[in-house]
Amino acid sequence: INPQLVKVFEKFNQLQSDGKGKLAIEHLNSSYPKQEHLQVIDLWYIYWNKSMYYLNYEHDLQNADLYADSAEYILPQLNKKNADEYVKTLFLRGDLFLAEKRYNEAFEQYYEGKAYAIKNIGQCRLSNFTYKLGNVKLKQNKLGEAITYYKQALQENQDCDAETFEYRFIYVQSKMNTIAMVYEMMYKPDSAIIYYQKAINFINQEKPANLKDSVFKERAYGVVLGNLGGAYKMTKNYKEAERLLLKSIAINDRPNYEYQDAMTVKIKLADLYLKTNRAELCYRIVNKLLKDLNNTDGNDEQQNAVKLSCYKLLKDYYIQ
C-alpha cells in the first residue's frame, strides 16, 4: 500500500476518534486524488475505509453498500497472498447484513469466513470470525449464545501465537470487555465485574513498544474503567462506581482519546448523582453535555443515544 496513503488513513481514523467525522471524510476525499501511481491494493483500501465510515459512523447503509460493492469488485485483481483483504471484505459484507438485520445471511457470511480462516490464516484471525458470530447472536438478543461465542473467541485469541499489538493486546482486552458488557445486559453485574477486572489486569500487564500503542492502551484502560464503574453502579456500590467513572472521564475526555466514550461515562455519572441525591451535580453534567453535543461532529447513533439519555435525566431532575 502507498506509504503516503497510509498517513492519510491514519489521520482519517484519528479524526473519527476525535468525533470529527465530517472532517475525516473530507480529508480522505481531498487527499487520495493527490496520490500518484495508485495500485489496486490502494483503491481497495480507499473503498473499504469509505464503506466502514458510512456503515459505522454515518449509518448510511446505501453508501456503505456502494463502496463495499466496489471493494468486492476489485478484490479478484489482488494478489492471492492478500488474505487480509479477503477476510476484511467478508467481514464488511457480514457487518452490512447485520446492520440491515439480515441475521441469517450475516451468520452465513461470518461462518464462510471462519472456514476460510481455518485453512488460510491461522488461529489468531480465526478468533475474530468467532467473535462476529457472537455479534449476530447479540443482535438477535440471544445473549447466552453470544456469550458462548465471545468466550470461544477469547480462548482462540489467547491460544494463538500473536506477534502484533493488534492480536496480542487489542482484540484480547476488547473481547474481555464485550463478555462483561453482555453479562451486564443479562443483569449479572457480579459476573460483569469479574470480566472487567480481568480486562483491566490484562491491560496493566501490557508493555507497549511505542507512543501510539501506549496511548491506545491508556484509552482502552479508560473505557474499561467506565464500564466497570457502570457495573458497580448496578450493584449500588456508588462510592466505588463514582471513583471509577471520574477516573475514566479524566483519561478519555480529551483530544486523541475516547472522547465519545467519555460522554457515555458522564451520563452514568450524572445518573449516579441523581440516585444519590446530588441533583445539581447531575444537572451541571447534563447541561454541559448538551452544549458539547451541539459543537461536536460525532457518530450520529452514539450522539443521539447520549442526547436521549440527557433528556431523560433532565425529566427525572425536574420531577424530583
Residue 164 belongs to a domain? no
Residue 35 has pLDDT above 70, yes or no: no
Residue 127 belongs to a domain? no
Would you say 175 and 150 are in contact if contact means Cβ atoms under 8 Å apart? yes
Rounded-to-integer distance, Cα 136 and Cα 78, Å: 29
Would you say 252 and 262 are in contact if contact means Cβ atoms under 8 Å apart? yes
In which domain, by residue range, is 104 found?
Answer: 3-113+188-318
The arithmetic mean of pLDDT across residues 158-182, rounded, is 90
Whole-number percent of the chain with pLDDT over 90: 65
Residue 136 belongs to a domain? no
Residue 163 belongs to a domain? no
- pLDDT for 319 equals 85
Beta-carbon contacts of 53 under 8 Å, excluding residues fewer than 6 positions away, are 12, 16, 21, 24, 25, 28
Work out how many domains the chain is built from and give that number.
1
Q: What are φ and ψ of residue 317, in 5° steps?
A: -65, -45
Residue 125 has pLDDT above 80, yes or no: no
Residue 247 belongs to a domain? yes
- pLDDT for 83 equals 79
- pLDDT for 297 equals 67
CATH of the domain at 227: 1.25.40
Closest C-alpha to 232, from 278, 263, 196, 198: 196
Residue 268 belongs to a domain? yes
- Tens of pLDDT, residues 283-311: 999 999 999 888 776 667 788 899 999 99
Residues in the chain: 320
- Tens of pLDDT, residues 38-66: 889 999 999 999 999 999 888 899 999 99
Residue 235 belongs to a domain? yes
Give the other-Cβ count within 10 Å of 198's Cβ: 18
Residue 116 has pLDDT above 80, yes or no: yes
Residue 48 belongs to a domain? yes
Whole-prediction pTM: 0.87
- pLDDT for 294 equals 83
